[in-house]
Structure 1
């Protein structure tokens, strides 16, 4: 039963993986804050 979360044939697992990949691709909130602060000269 534990492998269902990793199987791509279920829509919920695909949605979870897509959400995780987008979050990792975009960067964490703290990293984004640092980048914005540097661009603002803070």
Structure 2
């Protein structure tokens, strides 16, 4: 489940729920691309 909100000042908030069984460690990250901002930047 993903929710996106757009705020003043060119701010985008993305909220994602963690799937059952998904494991992560601090320091890990994901790449996110917002095509409306730039199709070539991650």
One fold, TM greater than 0.5?
no
Larger RCO (CA within 8 A; separation ≥ 6):
2
TM-score interval (norm. to shorter): under 0.3
- The alignment's TM-score, normalised by the length of structure 1, stands at 0.18
Tell me which structure has the larger Cα radius of gyration. Answer: 1
| TM-score scaled by length of structure 2 | 0.18
Q: Which has the higher strand share?
A: 2
